[in-house]
Structure 1
């Protein structure tokens, strides 16, 4: 399979497994790419990591292309290639989706506090503050921070299984993130770019992002610039005594090679920290067999110490609870 065929397959999978039923405009764009050999040839000039649909489509919109319009997509790629390429090379898909915290919350519930929360690929830190959001689940469960309702309210549809009784926000007493390119929640360019990464039809996500950035900006969250080889150890060394370290990541390890993922898994295992992962199926190995995926709503797996707890959409708006072990004592 040549490069153009691999890119066509990538965009076809994006259309079928992610955009379908969620973003008609991006589904239309992706299907246009699949059959346009000139566009595929242009995209083949990019480094492999920069060909991903989310990045290319966000950069097209950043440069003024009309979502869903095949002619606008073609003009943006073929007619304005140098400007688009410059944008793509300068940006990355640091989609910082706070709604994923609705899926992470039941996993954090299993870990006794106080907790030191460390996030790999933290971006602007919006998933590092799950204890500062309010949650409304479709089964009627409502969770607020100890200080009262938050301006950020995250809704999540429970499609199967049961949430734990007395679900509450975690007792996070220390938090820090690690990212190759940390983002400042108070920066206007950061807000504009993260907004561009949100799919065109997702108005509720844009509103939630804005509110979450406001909360994060007031907290001055620590996010170190660095990679896992040295940055993770430095953060773990700063965890206060008597506090349980928890390492989490969401939609992060998919950007690493299989060998790099294995190295990350080994590092986390050696750290003795608790491990919360929220990644696409197959990105990391888990300790129990999963039911087969039936739709985009269950393409992601939330796992605690590699034990799968739930499947979810990549944006965290739906959740099927698989199994919830009793909280550790």
Structure 2
């Protein structure tokens, strides 16, 4: 259980500190509490992560506002919480990430066919339906979505190639092991519980993006990126530029050899491959990007680093 405790201490120190006082407090508490560590030790290793525990507990019991409330919830509802943790995953569908990769899409020759790997409910498949505020430049939502579409704020570096219009997307599809259904109340509630408690702006824009997606439902099919992606690529229109993209997905494939094999397959397919992941996912690409920026993702196009991005799309630092 020492490894679990260290995982929660690191989460508190590196991820939650300065971003979620509640999760920082709870993670430190879990790391030093025997009954919480025992509960986690009975779960598969890939279901012990802090984000999954805290989201599952909130999904079952509501948000605990203190350590006492957390202990009571875990003690009284351990079985229900465990069931959520083994049946659901951290499918954080953060639509704000579109602000970080839209400039790259707009540099590609259109029309575009988008395929998202690890699409969750497909909210990031609609970058042409949202509005953007990069501080020195804005892009309003298209008129048909303007009343309900969220506007994503992103701090962009001076050298970032910011677009003046949305890209032309003529076809889109997502791939996910367990697609979420936006017409299912439980699935939408799960997306909401994955947002950290203090992140009220993210919560509001998620709800707005869900409204947009319900009116323009993106297609997300069930499948494994290692076996089923090629079939989806084959469906894309032959006269469109096919763009395969993903954010914070490949870290869930533990074996580096499997990640590298996926990278080779993407480069060999001839599609445009846009990868937005923690720099440790593809060390070979990260070496080309210079000093690692803590708590940032590395955006690569066909294996070449182009930018550092905030995990929720809140920042874009062009290389």
SS at match of 1:22: coil
Aligned partner of 1:326 in structure 2 is none
1:142-153 correspondence runs (5 A): 142-145=138-141, 147=143, 150=146, 151-153=149-151
- Report the CA distance between 1:93 and its aligned residue: 0.8
CA distance in 2, matches of 1:165, 1:107: 9
Q: Residues 110-155 of structure 1, C-alpha deviation per residue, up to 9 Å, x if partnerless?
A: 21111110000111100111011100012x2101355477321111
SS at match of 1:154: strand
Aligned partner of 1:327 in structure 2 is none
- TM-score of the two chains, using structure 2 as the length reference: 0.92
Question: Does residue 292 of the first structure (1) align with residue 288 of the second (2)?
Answer: no
CA distance in 1, matches of 2:83, 2:142: 45
- Report the CA distance between 1:23 and its aligned residue: 0.9
SS at match of 1:200: coil
Quick one: which of 267, 270, 284 aligns to 2:268?
A: 270
- Report the CA distance between 1:40 and its aligned residue: 1.4
- Report the CA distance between 1:88 and its aligned residue: 1.2
Contact 1:76/1:84 (<8 A) preserved: no
Contact 2:63/2:197 (<8 A) preserved: no
- Assess, with a 3 A threshold, how the Cα gap between structure 1 residues 36 and 161 changes in structure 2: closer, same or farther: farther
- TM-score of the two chains, using structure 1 as the length reference: 0.90
Mark the runs of 5 or more structure 2 residues left unpaired by the alignment.
none
Aligned partner of 2:137 in structure 1 is 141
SS at match of 2:91: coil
- Assess, with a 3 A threshold, how the Cα gap between structure 1 residues 207 and 166 changes in structure 2: closer, same or farther: closer
Aligned partner of 1:154 in structure 2 is 152
Mark the runs of 5 or more structure 1 residues left unpaired by the alignment.
323-329
Contact 1:186/1:213 (<8 A) preserved: no
Once the two structures are overlaid, the 10-residue window that deviates more, 34-43 or 239-248, is 34-43
Corresponding pairs, count: 314
- Assess, with a 3 A threshold, how the Cα gap between structure 1 residues 79 and 165 changes in structure 2: closer, same or farther: closer
Aligned partner of 1:260 in structure 2 is 258
Aligned partner of 2:192 in structure 1 is 195
CA distance in 1, matches of 2:85, 2:212: 29
Provide the alpha-carbon RMSD of the alignment: 1.8
- Report the CA distance between 1:189 and its aligned residue: 1.7
Q: Residues 243-297 of structure 1, C-alpha deviation per residue, up to 9 Å, x if partnerless?
A: 1110000111111122321222122122111111111121124161332334x3x
CA distance in 2, matches of 1:66, 1:239: 42
SS at match of 2:154: strand
CA distance in 2, matches of 1:137, 1:318: 9
Quick one: which of 36, 40, 45 aligns to 1:39?
A: 36
CA distance in 2, matches of 1:73, 1:65: 10
1:189-228 correspondence runs (5 A): 189-228=186-225
- Assess, with a 3 A threshold, how the Cα gap between structure 1 residues 226 and 63 changes in structure 2: closer, same or farther: same
CA distance in 1, matches of 2:198, 2:131: 23
1:96-107 correspondence runs (5 A): 96-107=93-104
CA distance in 1, matches of 2:226, 2:316: 32
CA distance in 2, matches of 1:165, 1:49: 38
Aligned partner of 1:325 in structure 2 is none
- Assess, with a 3 A threshold, how the Cα gap between structure 1 residues 183 and 166 changes in structure 2: closer, same or farther: closer
- Report the CA distance between 1:80 and its aligned residue: 2.8
Aligned partner of 2:24 in structure 1 is 27
Contact 1:106/1:167 (<8 A) preserved: no
